[in-house]
Structure 1
Amino acid sequence: MPIKNTNSRYGWVSVGIHWLMALTVIGMFALGIWMRQLSYYDPWYRDGPSLHKGIGILLLIALLARIVWRNINIRPSDDPALKTWERVTAHLTHFALYGLMLALMVAGYLISTADGRPIDVFGLFNVPATLHGLPDQEDIAGEVHEILAWILILLAGVHALAALKHHFINRDSTLLKMLGRDANSTK
């Protein structure tokens, strides 16, 4: 598999970032749900959020890298069997996923820095609190964060189901390209 994308498949960088982010988003969603059930005396009451924040910042870096990589690479051609509405919906869904992830991470940042403290990313570096002290910042950002997380996970689920539909029902190359396989080798 090539490093960069070609007209017929994604390269290993795009494939790797895609699947790493997909697994991380699912893991972060599960961690977020689990953290809300912790009591004050649970040992993970402070460690869970620290883990969630650190991974969230690394995920933001991966998202920004993915967007840059997407813009400096060619994008494999859509499968010729796709209908116009499928093509448009797929592109809008990708932009919605990127936008949701970015908005979700901004909301998470606003929750984490509401008290003016920076976010410690596993002792490697700190992300400063540049915007803090707004009225009800933590509560409002928390509500937005939760709503966006549910929307993101639902949209990602639809995205995954669509990929499986294209693979098993339509038998086209849509999923194969994101697995690093050449679309032309399946015909």
Structure 2
Amino acid sequence: MQWRNTTDAWGLPAILLHWLVALGLFGLFGLGLWMTGLDYYHPWYRRAPDLHRSIGSLLFLLVLLVLLRLGWRLLNPTPTALPNHLPWEQLAARLVHRLLYLLPLLVMVSGYLISTADGRAVSVFDWFELPALLTGLEQQEEVMGRLHKLLAWGLIGTAAVHTSGALKHHFFDHDITLTRILGSTKEQP
């Protein structure tokens, strides 16, 4: 597996960032769904949100690295669309990829604004704190809470479209779209 992207394949940094961010986002989504259903007396009622905030904060720092990935993409070629990809598929892929860069940032910023609405910093596993930089907005916690939930569902929906497209190319078109992000450029049998 090569380090840099080529016009035929993704490089190792792009592949690792893709899967690490995907794992983190889906894990946080599941944790968020689970924790919002806990009652006050559940032993995880306070711990789950702390865990969600800490993992989310670390993932936010990783997503900032993803912005570096955008820079990496500018310096590296991007694997080109395969000849069997129709123009509408290429357009849809570009739009979905742009949303997959934008939505995680918006989800994480809204989550940060929920957590810091009362002026307290966000503790990240007691390793360090993210200071409350913006507080005092009218109904900040409630508004950002609704926005956070809406954006999270939008992100998961966009990821589902992205995944569906990759699976369609793999199982129906029998091309290497999916295997490229898995680190292989071998043709399907």
TM-score (norm 1): 0.94
Deviation of 1:67 (Å):
2.4
1:142-171 per-position Cα deviation (integer Å, ceiling 9, x unaligned): 000001111111111111111000011011
Q: Distance in 1 between matches of 2:58 and 2:6?
A: 27
- The residue number in structure 1 matching 2:102 is 99
Q: Distance in 2 between matches of 1:146 and 1:97?
A: 16
1:115 partnered with 2:118:
yes
Q: Distance in 2 between matches of 1:28 and 1:75?
A: 29
1:81 partnered with 2:84:
yes
- The residue number in structure 2 matching 1:58 is 58
Q: Distance in 2 between matches of 1:128 and 1:174?
A: 41
1:36-93 per-position Cα deviation (integer Å, ceiling 9, x unaligned): 1111122211110111011111111111212212322321112122111111110110
After the TM superposition, which parts of structure 1 deviate over 3 Å for at least 4 consecutive aligned residues? Answer: none
Q: Distance in 2 between matches of 1:100 and 1:41?
A: 33
Q: Distance in 2 between matches of 1:169 and 1:96?
A: 25
SS of alignment partner, residue 126 of structure 1 = strand
Q: Distance in 2 between matches of 1:139 and 1:171?
A: 46
Q: Distance in 2 between matches of 1:145 and 1:21?
A: 18
Q: Distance in 2 between matches of 1:142 and 1:152?
A: 15
2:168 to 165, 169, 182: 165
Tell me, which stretches of 5 or more residues in structure 1 are unaligned? none
* Same amino acid, percent of matched pairs: 46
Q: Distance in 2 between matches of 1:155 and 1:93?
A: 7
SS of alignment partner, residue 120 of structure 1 = strand
Tell me, which stretches of 5 or more residues in structure 2 are unaligned? none
Q: Give the paired residue count.
A: 185
TM-score (norm 2): 0.93
